[in-house]
Each structure stands twice: as structure tokens, then as C-alpha cells.
Amino acid sequence: AGGGRIIDTIRKWYYNAAGFNKLGLMRDDTLHEDDDVKEALKRLPEHLYNERVFRIKRALDLSLKHQILPRSQWVKYEEDHHYLEPYLKEVIRERREREAWNKK
């Protein structure tokens, strides 16, 4: 149990050290948009997609101004949910299935 707390502490430290949360971004907002991620984004419900677009536009604006959000608005490690992950896993599974089918 003690080792799990240490790992969690390191994860939280790294999350904050990365800095994207200070711009109001979530982890999934920072994924490289390869073909799988682009397809997963197409499958997002509209409200999740719109929230993502808002966060990215706000982060770009803050970055251009060399500013960060007030600390109270930073995305906390515990609040960052992987909203894109289920869609991305589905896309990857389908792609691998297609690739396996095409090899036959």
C-alpha cells in the first residue's frame, strides 16, 4: 500500500510539472492527433468536443499572452478524467481488427 502512495505522489508531481493543467488543459487535450485520435474525436459527443475546443482555444490565448490561469482554475490531477480514452480504445481495436482481417 505504501508503494502505491509513492507512485501516486510521483504521478501528481509529474502532472503538475508538465504544466498543461495551468492552462486549463486535460491530459487527453494534449494527445498527438494521429489518425486514431482524429477518428476518436469524431466520435465524441458534441458537448465533450465543444468543451475540448474551448479548453484548447483558451490555452492558446493564454500561451500567446504568456499567462497562466489563476491557481483556483488549474485542472487538478483528481479532476482530470480521460474523456477520449474509451473512444480511442474502440478506434484502435477496430483498426487492429481490420488489419488482421486484411491479412487473411
The model's pLDDT over 39-57, given as tens digits with 9 standing for 90+, comes to: 999 999 999 999 999 999 9
Task: Kindly list the distances between the CA atom of residue 92 and the CA atoms of 26, 48, 49, 99, in Å, as whole numbers in the listed order.
Answer: 21, 20, 19, 10
For 64-87, the pLDDT digits (tens) are 999 999 999 999 999 999 999 999
Q: How confident is the model at residue 15 (pLDDT cuts 50, 70, 90)?
A: very high
41: Cβ–Cβ under 8 A, 6 or more apart, which residues?
33, 49, 52, 84, 87
Percent of the chain residues past pLDDT 70, beyond the cut: 98
Q: What is the pLDDT of residue 78?
A: 94
Cell of 85: 480514452
Instruction: Give one word for 59, left, alpha or beta, with left for phi > 0 and alpha for psi -120 to 50.
Output: alpha
Q: What is the pLDDT of residue 2?
A: 65
96: Cβ–Cβ under 8 A, 6 or more apart, which residues?
none
- Mean of per-residue pLDDT scores for the chain: 95
Taking 3-state DSSP, the helix, strand and coil percentages for the chain, each rounded to the nearest 5, stand at 75, 0, 25
User: Hey, what domains does the chain have and what are their CATH numbers?
Assistant: 2-103 (1.10.1090.10)
Cell of 23: 492552462
Residue type, 99: E
